[in-house]
Amino acid sequence: MRVLSGIQPTGNLHLGNYLGAIRNWVRMQDEMDADSQCFFFLADMHSITVHEGREQRIRNVRDMAAALVAAGIDPDRSVLFNQARVPAHAELCWLLNGTARIGWLNRMTQFKDKVGKDREGASIGLFVYPVLQAADILVYNATHVPVGEDQKQHLELARDIATKFNTDFGVELFTLPDPIIPRESARIMSFRDGTAKMSKSDPSDMSRINLTDDDDAIMQKVKKAKTDPEPLPETAEGLAGRPEANNLVGIYATLAGRTADAVCAEFAGKGFGAFKPALGELLVETLRPIRSRFMELRTDDAALDAILEKGAARASAAAEPTLRAAYDAMGLMR
Ligand code: TYM
């Protein structure tokens, strides 16, 4: 089993990242047996699709590394690194650009969502972004990729690229990766709009819970979260057509390790005035220890750089055989 996943180091780690992906990373790392390996990385090469100044980008990478370690990624057991330190990702991306089709990329919903009406003004990087993501995965022959629901289409593309490359060059080089998507928290929604996903790029900070938010900020954001005037239903079925209520109950259930039905049963007939403080407490208790470890870790840049350098050396060694085989399959002498 080879587990791999990545996160863009833009802005803070938020509750959507944590519940949709990072918690699963930690669980898979902790349950790993001796024959398995976990690779987790900061997708800084992907982050060039968002304009950022030099100093801020450097800070973002170190902060996201600190956040992952604070959330439970152990750099001794997992290979933790930033993509820019491992050129194999960019090299394989270029090779796969010969395999990926424009028609496939045209169908990517994230690209369409991000560019909106200004397709002509979007960067090429944003368009080929999923090819780099495919390279990230295929260069390690990853078997399991823990991600939130929004990455499912990119994973399907990685499988299509792998299949076409193997067929075109008559090799069995790339392994087809399986997405690992959590059942309950695959799509955490915005606190301002239950139909939009919680995201770092939402201009309203009230829409998301950040790892850096203190206890008061968390309680405030929960209190102000958009809801409807109805009381909580007796079963989760009654949440249909109530996206905000469904989101908050889902978050509560995930954090408490219970089903949405059990949460509804407990709060049935009560309004959000009763539910929100309980949810706020649960969030505060979950995030407080992570935040305090994060605040401590982010003060030691040298230690964070050392972790990423060591991880990059291990990652480069793991990527090399597949990269070499890909050049060779294409008849490119290296
Ligand atoms: P990114 O940085 O947007 O998000 C990191 C992870 O968090 C998940 N996620 C969510 N899950 C549930 N609810 C939400 N509201 C929410 N928002 C984010 C994402 O699904 C993701 O798992 N393209 C990727 C990074 C990447 C990658 C890879 C992932 C680059 N190469 C290779 C896997 C394998 C991205 O931008 O994730």
Fold topology of 2-186+300-329: Rossmann fold (3.40.50)
Nearest to 24 by CA among 10, 12, 7: 7
Identify the band that residue 11 occupies on the pLDDT scale cut at 50, 70 and 90. Answer: confident
Measured between alpha carbons, how far is 84 from 232 in angstroms, rounded to an integer?
47
CA–CA distance, 2 with 137 (Å, rounded to integer): 10
Q: Residue 174 pLDDT more than 90? A: yes
Q: Examine the pLDDT at 7 and tell me if it is beyond 90.
A: yes
Structure pTM? 0.97
| Residues 2, 28 contacting (CB under 8 angstroms) | no
112, 197, 270, 310: the catalytic one is 197
Q: How far is residue 123's CA from residue 119's CA, in Å, rounded to a whole number?
A: 9
pLDDT at 184: 85
Element (H, E) at 280: helix 272-297
Mean pLDDT, all residues of the chain: 97
Over residues 287-310, mean pLDDT: 98
In the predicted model, is pLDDT for residue 310 greater than 90?
yes
Residue type, position 251, single letter: I
Q: Domain spans of the chain?
A: 2-186+300-329, 205-296
Catalytic member of 114, 152, 164, 310 = 114
pLDDT value, residue 239: 97
- Partners of 80 in the beta sheet? 40
Length of the chain: 334
Q: How far is the CA of 20 from the centre of ligand 1 (A)?
A: 8
- Tell whether the model's pLDDT for residue 185 goes beyond 90: no
Place of tokens 């915005």: 190
**Ligand 1 touching residue 148 (CB < 6 A):** yes
Q: Are 144 and 180 spatial neighbours (Cβ–Cβ below 8 Å)? A: yes
Cβ-based neighbour number of residue 101 at 10 Å: 12
* Rounded-to-10 torsion of CA 322, 163, 109, 92: 20
Phi, psi angles (nearest 5°) of residue 244: -70, -45
Rounded CA-CA distance 221/233 in Å is 23
Q: Return the residue whose CA atom lies nearest to atom 26 of ligand 1.
A: 6
Percentage with pLDDT > 70 across the chain: 100
Of the candidates 117, 200, 224, 310, the residue annotated as catalytic is: 200
pLDDT digits (tens, 9 = 90+) for 60-92: 999 999 999 999 999 999 999 999 999 999 999
Tokens at 111, concatenated: 């690209």
- What confidence score (pLDDT) does residue 12 get? 85
Average pLDDT over residues 217-244: 97
pLDDT digits (tens, 9 = 90+) for 189-211: 999 999 999 999 899 999 999 99
Instruction: Identify whether 152 is a catalytic site residue.
Output: no
pLDDT in tens, 245-282: 999 999 999 999 999 999 999 999 999 999 999 999 99
Q: How crowded is residue 203: how many other Cβ atoms within 10 Å of its Cβ? A: 5
User: How many whole angstroms separate alpha carbon 73 and alpha carbon 67?
Assistant: 9
pLDDT of residue 86: 98
Q: Indicate if ligand 1 lies below 6 Å from the C-beta of 152.
A: no
Q: What's the DSSP call for residue 117? A: T
pLDDT in tens, 91-145: 999 999 999 999 999 999 999 999 999 999 999 999 999 999 999 999 999 999 9
The CATH code for residues 205-296 is: 1.10.240.10
